[in-house]
Chains A and B, each alone.
Chain A
Amino acid sequence: MGTVDVCIGNNLIIDFDIFSLWIDGFTIEQCKTEIVKKDLSVRNCKETIIFRDIMDNYHNFNRLEQYLQIPCRLREQLMFQVSEEMIEKLVQCYYQYNPYVMREILNHKLTHKQRKDLDDIADKTETRVRSCRRQFDNLRQIIRILDDLKGPILRNIEEYFCLPRSLAEDYTAIVFLARNQFDLSKRKLSYLVLDDFIYCVNQMISNWPMSNSFEHDSDFNRDFLLSFKELKILSEKEFIDEHKRLVLHGMAKVLNNNMTKDCRCLILFDELFKDLSRSLIDIAYSLNHSKDMKDLFFDLFERFIEPCKDVKLIKNEVTIFLDEYRKKAHLVPDISKEYPKFSHTFDKYFTTISNCIIQMYH
């Protein structure tokens, strides 16, 4: 090997096998081992030659990284000649995240301190520290750039980071989780994977109106959240019993195929109904406090999912219950007299929340 040993071309030709290994934080030496393992055709090449080729690629990637951090600049820079398809592919690879790592990163605040402590996450998820750091930095970079931009997050991510739709949507959810500092770190929530949260957040984003103020478009409309306060009437004495009756009645109709099992289910819900209903309404009631918003997932788990799980209700039964619960709420007599917009508000709240619960129920 020479002290200088490089090969530079006019067109950027990228070996995406090497690129993905680089992204995963492999050192040149590790990358070589991996390539030799993977590609049978290179077996009879000299190792130094493979090494040198990887090194050339790594030099390119290291220079390319500054543009990958602000991908829209890839289009205007003159250092590398990259086609539009290549930009898409590069960016998509670079912003790909490992859901387990991202899940861990979201457990804490995105601070400088956490960046230093990524070793733990790396150990836990069996990923390279460098890869964790890239995922961490990517997220932080996206949030930082979004802070300066106006308009909907999704559009900004798509435009500014040149990400494909699906990845941009995932990032929108992740940014949302991170910005609102949802508490995902509770031990009881550890069984949930990132996709569960992304699903839940996307439910909220698509169903609940956002704040109109420009600085923080990841806040929900405050008035909207305050309107949930009105749902409290559903847990008032005069309505709750009627609601319970309707729900159980409805469930019995839907269930009726396996007698013993259904009976058990109905009995259990009969017992739990008041607690569960009160919990769901309480959660709605408190969403306008940002602290309670942060604990949303934990509250859902502790106050709804856990009690159901304790009595070994299966997902299907919970689904039926939630469905009936939502439908029958409209039929509770006199409730719209007390609060005229009840149906509308309740649906807004409950469709989203019940979807979340079903997703989290596993």
Chain B
Amino acid sequence: MPGKIKIGILKARNLPIMDRSSESSDAFVEVRFGNDNYYKTPVYKKSLDPEWNSRFFFEVEEDEIQEEPLQIRVLDHDTYSSHDAIGKVYIDLKPLLNPNGPTALNGFFPIFDTLHGIRGDIKVQARLEILSDCNEYRKSSSGVQFFTSSRIPEGYVLQNFCGFVEEMVLNDDPEYQWIDKIRAPRASNEARQKLFTKLSGEVQRRIGLKVLDIEANCVLGYQQYFDLEGEFGIVVRGIGTAANIIRQAGNSKSQLFPEISKHSKISPNRLTKKISSESDLNHQNLINKQENQNGHSISEKMEYPFLTLQQYPSGFIKSVCGIVCSRSVKLLNSNNEFDDLESRDKWWIEIRNEIRSHMKSLDCHVVLGYTETKSICEDVCVLSATGTAALFNEAFFANPLKRIDENSSEKCSICHVPYDETELPFPVALSKCAVCGQGQVPDVIFTSIQPLPEIETIGRGSLIKAIVSRPRKKSSGEISAKMISDYMPFMEYELHRQLLGKLKIKGMNMLYGLKVQISIGENLLMGIAEATACFAAPLPKPILPKIINDKMNREFKDIESLKKLLIDEMQRNIDFYGLEFKLSSSTIEQTDSENDSKALLKIELDDYREKENIYQLMDSAAKKNILACSTEYMPGIEFNSNLQMFTSIYRCEAKLVQMNIKKFNEIFDYILEGLNYKFRKYKNYVLANLSTDTSLFDDDHAMIILTGSCLTYGESNIDIKNNVEITNLSYVPNARIERYLGLVNLFLIRESTQIKENGGLSGFMHCFITEVLALVRAHVLSLDGNALVSFKMTECVLLDNPHRNQGQCLINVTGDAVRIVK
């Protein structure tokens, strides 16, 4: 349906001096939308603060608005030669399509040039007038709201989940086209920016159509990925959860997600609750059975019962089981009969099917906190998908009264295993739930979702990180792919072993927000896992890892001292995190033979290297006193205020082959220590929502990006005055989200040929990230917002050429623009 965009190009300020002699500029603006719409303002002579006050309109199609950005280009008029570019602004008009969203867009946008950065601001207004569309063959999918936040938006009520939606588009990357050889860097960068912005719009439009097809009204937990496959092209992927949500009437109690339960006093002997009568239990089991079947029937309606959210309304989850994960190594240039997009589609379908079968084998019917990632190195790529297998309460949607009911019932049931003790899907040590004494619980649970308030935790949480790296021979094609795929299971095992060992030594038994990242370098393979560990009350107390000395040739004393070390470390952790249990002799001396066989962690000492492994399981001295977690909430701590969101970028030049786990650990410690130093003035703070992104380049450098938020607790509210709060959390502590204004999705490229003059690569990156944040803030402000939640830097690639003093960086950021009330 046709619509009309009314645009106003009003004025600009602080333009750069383009004409040296007069120390001013003769600026004018070109506005483009799609292929047909073009407008040019008159030239405003000799001013760095020109005022055009041009108002005009474009007639457009709705689906164009979903794909095309409004392109604004500011130029300096030159009578004799070609006009000089000052910079560009891309404005996404999609938020205006949303019926609940803002009606107009108005504000100063920084004028960005890929070679010079931000050069002044331009004031733009845009308003959309559109006729409603009832054509069923329509191409547009406006009205479907997208949320990147992986939770039910604040102020909305979830009605139902409709399914997993995904879309993917493939295109040539302009940087690798033949024309790039003769094109100026600016033109090439701009072509890329434009294309990528357009592709991500196309993906969203297509997902929107699917969403309308299954009669949902929004996409929650939307994740967007750019796979830069180099000469093979660029793939833009989007996944999300289609759902129906409605705005809650009245804003009084919009807190859908209850606050993390406060630290509760529970005696170490937690088996105090009354055991319900036998008949009651049977009855309950019966209902459970029925519900299980019910759940099956519903989840079978969805092709893939995968939910990309990480937080769910209370009462929704019935039971969490554990992580399901699937990986596959693929060659990008495999010449098969399918076209490129089709073959990539097939790859993902394979993976999803595998995840689904894993889920089924665990007797679960839904996967929560689902993500799909891809790591690429030249022509080899590793596709991964992970999530948390779980059961959900079918009654949750059917009967709203039941929800309340569910809240009051035993909360520990979430930890109970969904399968029968007699038919275990895999060998696992089960024990009686420590809270209710009835259900069977495993000794640890790993999940990829945010901390569940329903599960009672004792003490505080902690960040756990596991790193595995392994050199590989330089090779390409088939051989390389095979090598990587051969190593993958070992890597997975080693990561798991480390996580488990660290978890035990921490004295904890549950992992939230587990994220595993695989990076492939030319001659190095690396895996990093991070999660928030905590001590969940229903699960059994952790047992000290057992040291088994097979060969008996080792000094007894040696073993004893190692044991002592482990006990000391564990004791220290128990004290530090307030876990409130004692290392009783029974936890230390596990002689029970039955338990022994099933105990998940043993350390076998058969060569000297193993001893080092034990040390590796303990936190380094640097990390010891820093409170950190990889999730948005920290178990056991309630946050006061958001001090700062930070992005730490570290690039090291080293022969990657020589990089071992120890060296990587040192780098991470160094980054954390640096952050600790920065926030040393604040007493009580937590580095929350930490997320690491590691990329390996060629054979000689690695880049590590650590993002997170520094939050304070137990202190008087620190009021930070700012115009726009940007946070990677999906909420703002001590504030309420009043309104969601739309997705902000920016794709930017910055290039410089004066790296040394501007503070080296560090200076270049510092400047670019600062500019990106400035652009994000401007977009939020123009939508009348004052915060951006779920900020995520999905892509950050830095390429450099020191001999030519050149550097190029490409960044994609996303988030939800919102209006908050403090």
Question: What residues of chain A have their CB less than 8 Å away from a CB belonging to chain B?
Answer: 2-11, 13, 41-42, 45-46, 48-50, 52-53, 55-56, 58-60, 62-63, 73, 76-81, 83-84
Contact indicator A76/B724 (Cβ below 8 Å): no
Contact indicator B13/A76 (Cβ below 8 Å): yes
| B678 sits at the interface (CB 8 A) | yes
Contact indicator A10/B651 (Cβ below 8 Å): no
- In whole angstroms, what is the CA distance A84 to B14 when docked? 20
Rounded to whole Å, the gap between the CB of A149 and the closest CB of chain B is 15
Rounded to whole Å, the gap between the CB of A290 and the closest CB of chain B is 29
Question: Do A62 and B759 form a contact, CB below 8 Å, given A3-B653, A49-B670?
Answer: yes
Question: Do A63 and B767 form a contact, CB below 8 Å, given A11-B644, A53-B677, A78-B777?
Answer: yes
Closest to B652 in A: A2
List 29 contacting pairs A-B, 8 Å CB cutoff, sorted by A: A3-B652, A3-B653, A3-B760, A5-B762, A7-B674, A8-B646, A8-B647, A8-B769, A8-B770, A10-B645, A10-B726, A11-B720, A11-B722, A13-B644, A13-B678, A42-B677, A45-B673, A48-B670, A49-B670, A50-B677, A55-B762, A56-B766, A59-B767, A60-B766, A60-B770, A78-B108, A79-B110, A83-B721, A83-B722
| B58 sits at the interface (CB 8 A) | no
B651: chain A residues within 8 A (beta carbon): 2-5
Given contacts A10-B644, A77-B14, 6 further A-B contacts (CB under 8 A): A3-B653, A49-B673, A60-B766, A78-B108, A78-B777, A84-B721
A48: chain B residues within 8 A (beta carbon): 670
Cβ-defined partner of B766 (8 Å) among A50, A59, A76, A81: A59
B677: chain A residues within 8 A (beta carbon): 42, 45, 49-50, 53
Contact indicator B774/A62 (Cβ below 8 Å): no
A9: chain B residues within 8 A (beta carbon): 644-647
Q: How big is chain B's contact interface, by range?
A: 35 or more
Closest to B704 in A: A2
| B118 sits at the interface (CB 8 A) | yes
Contact indicator B761/A41 (Cβ below 8 Å): no
Residue-wise, chain B 676-688 has the 8 Å CB interface mask toward A (1 for contact) of 0110100000000
Contact indicator B761/A81 (Cβ below 8 Å): no
- In whole angstroms, what is the CA distance A83 to B767 when docked? 20
B650: chain A residues within 8 A (beta carbon): 2, 4-5
Question: Do A73 and B121 form a contact, CB below 8 Å, given A13-B644, A49-B677, A62-B759?
Answer: no
Contact indicator A49/B674 (Cβ below 8 Å): yes
Closest to A55 in B: B762
- In whole angstroms, what is the CA distance A9 to B675 when docked? 11
Cβ-defined partner of A4 (8 Å) among B14, B649, B773, B778: B649
Contact indicator B649/A5 (Cβ below 8 Å): yes
| B763 sits at the interface (CB 8 A) | yes
| B662 sits at the interface (CB 8 A) | no
Contact indicator A59/B644 (Cβ below 8 Å): no
| B765 sits at the interface (CB 8 A) | yes
Contact indicator A62/B761 (Cβ below 8 Å): no
B674: chain A residues within 8 A (beta carbon): 7, 49, 52-53
Question: What residues of chain B have their CB less than 8 Å away from a CB belonging to chain A?
Answer: 13-14, 108, 110, 118, 121, 643-653, 670, 673-675, 677-678, 680, 701, 703, 720-727, 759-763, 765-767, 769-771, 773-774, 777-778, 798
Question: Do A3 and B774 form a contact, CB below 8 Å, given A10-B644, A49-B674?
Answer: no
Closest to A5 in B: B650
Contact indicator A79/B770 (Cβ below 8 Å): yes
- In whole angstroms, what is the CA distance A73 to B120 when docked? 11
Interface of A is mostly: mixed
A42: chain B residues within 8 A (beta carbon): 677, 680
Cβ-defined partner of A59 (8 Å) among B13, B720, B759: B759
- In whole angstroms, what is the CA distance A53 to B646 when docked? 13
Rounded to whole Å, the gap between the CB of B530 and the closest CB of chain A is 18
A59: chain B residues within 8 A (beta carbon): 759, 762-763, 766-767
Contact indicator B723/A53 (Cβ below 8 Å): no
B653: chain A residues within 8 A (beta carbon): 2-3
B645: chain A residues within 8 A (beta carbon): 9-10
Question: Do A7 and B646 form a contact, CB below 8 Å, given A53-B677, A79-B118?
Answer: yes
A81: chain B residues within 8 A (beta carbon): 722-724, 777
Contact indicator B722/A6 (Cβ below 8 Å): no
Contact indicator B649/A10 (Cβ below 8 Å): no
B798: chain A residues within 8 A (beta carbon): 4
Contact indicator A6/B649 (Cβ below 8 Å): yes
- In whole angstroms, what is the CA distance A209 to B721 when docked? 44
Question: Do A7 and B675 form a contact, CB below 8 Å, given A62-B759, A78-B774, A79-B771?
Answer: yes
- In whole angstroms, what is the CA distance A46 to B666 when docked? 13
- In whole angstroms, what is the CA distance A10 to B786 when docked? 13
Rounded to whole Å, the gap between the CB of A58 and the closest CB of chain B is 8
B771: chain A residues within 8 A (beta carbon): 79
A52: chain B residues within 8 A (beta carbon): 674
B769: chain A residues within 8 A (beta carbon): 6, 8
Contact indicator A3/B778 (Cβ below 8 Å): no
Contact indicator A4/B761 (Cβ below 8 Å): yes
B701: chain A residues within 8 A (beta carbon): 3
Rounded to whole Å, the gap between the CB of A34 and the closest CB of chain B is 16
Contact indicator A6/B678 (Cβ below 8 Å): no
Rounded to whole Å, the gap between the CB of A127 and the closest CB of chain B is 24
- In whole angstroms, what is the CA distance A76 to B760 when docked? 28
- Most B C-beta atoms less than 10 A away, residue of A3, A55, A78, A79: A78
- In whole angstroms, what is the CA distance A50 to B676 when docked? 11
Closest to A56 in B: B766
Contact indicator A78/B720 (Cβ below 8 Å): no
A58: chain B residues within 8 A (beta carbon): 759
Rounded to whole Å, the gap between the CB of A73 and the closest CB of chain B is 6
Closest to A12 in B: B722
